[in-house]
Amino acid sequence: MPSSVMPTTTPGAGPQAPAAVSAAGLRKSYGDKTVLDGIDLRIPAGSVFALLGPNGAGKTTTVQILSTLISADGGQAQVAGHDLATAPQAVRGAIGVTGQFSAVDGLITGEENMLLMADLHLIPRREGKQIAAELLERFGLTEAAKKPASTYSGGMKRRLDIAMTLVGSPRVIFLDEPTTGLDPRSRHNMWQIIRELVTGGVTVFLTTQYLEEADELADRIAVLNDGRIAAEGTAEELKRLVPGGHVRLRFTDPGAYRDAAGALPGSTADDDSLTLQIPSDGSQRDLRSVLDRLDAAGVEADELTVHTPDLDDVFFALTGGAGVPAQSAQSAQSAPSDATKETVR
């Protein structure tokens, strides 16, 4: 998977920004099954936070607790400055939630769905109509506004769902798997919508099973596994936690391939494809040393590719028991900066 990084960091969204969501020691069990076993979170205001985890890891449970839909068995949390336990009503007034199961009523039109939300927020009719019209326009739904929502495509329904969430001007939005089931174009549209929300100062807490989505959107990512946060950091920090970085050299001339193999003793050779794989952290220094050794041997590779682990590697390593130790946020944050996957010919 190509690793592109486009963090949506906005001014004021750094770790020092006030927390839009903070949680300490959140616990939740169903019967004798422990779903959350002490979750700590701190999400700066105006940032995108992605919670990743395999099926059944507890992502939806976390969203349900933080959005006051269910209560935790232990721990504490503040959302938009309000305590979950003592001021749930204030939390509800400050958040929007778009779940895996849409709040859209298919029997009524898109516009009527919006007006219903405005009524729920006790917004006067005239103002409600104006807000509905603005949001429908913003989400490209003006033309379809008078049609029953059941006639909308999956992408349109999802956009209407988010538009409905925005009626109450929430400061924190929880998006539970916002692009599941969407085609690539609709998914990219949704990403654009999420970026625009953050530009407008909203904090987005999203759960996703798409690592590419977290990589594209999130300022910070946490991986939930076995009821705990197995790792937390930026996409780049997380990628540095797993081994597997290497330089791959491809040759067309078998003689050059053999000479290069002799010059690079630590490499893994593949005689069929005439490629050599050399463990590397992808740093400039490492790369230069490989090139110097090739120069000294008088050989030139036909293709050189630098591979750094992507989020897939991180996910499998952290959630599959592949031997990467669970990490503290501190150790991820202190890792040095590094390059991502790129090809040099």
Taking the least distance from each CB to ligand ATP, the nearer of 31 and 265 is 31
* Nearest distance, CB of residue 206 and ligand ATP, angstroms: 12
The closest alpha carbon to 210, from 182, 168, 247, belongs to 182
Taking the least distance from each CB to ligand ATP, the nearer of 182 and 269 is 182
Q: How far is CA 281 from its chain centroid?
A: 24
* Nearest distance, CB of residue 227 and ligand ATP, angstroms: 9
* Nearest distance, CB of residue 213 and ligand ATP, angstroms: 13
* Binding site residues, ligand ATP, CB under 6 A: 30, 35, 53, 55-61, 209
Report in angstroms the alpha-carbon separations of 117 from 60, 114, 164. 23, 5, 6
Taking the least distance from each CB to ligand ATP, the nearer of 59 and 159 is 59
Dist. CA 332–CA 229, nearest whole Å: 13
Taking the least distance from each CB to ligand ATP, the nearer of 53 and 96 is 53
Dist. CA 55–CA 60, nearest whole Å: 10
* Nearest distance, CB of residue 176 and ligand ATP, angstroms: 7
* Nearest distance, CB of residue 195 and ligand ATP, angstroms: 23
Using DSSP, state whether 277 is helix, strand or coil.
Answer: strand
Taking the least distance from each CB to ligand ATP, the nearer of 84 and 263 is 84
Q: Which two tokens stand for residue 83?
A: 């305590």
Q: Which two tokens stand for residue 77?
A: 């949390």
Taking the least distance from each CB to ligand ATP, the nearer of 61 and 109 is 61
> Residue written as tokens 């709040």?
103
Dist. CA 202–CA 97, nearest whole Å: 13
* Nearest distance, CB of residue 124 and ligand ATP, angstroms: 37
Q: What is the DSSP string of 198-248?
A: HHTT-EEEEEES-HHHHHHH-SEEEEEETTEEEEEE-HHHHHTTS---EEE
Determine the longest span between alpha carbons in the chain, in angstroms.
80
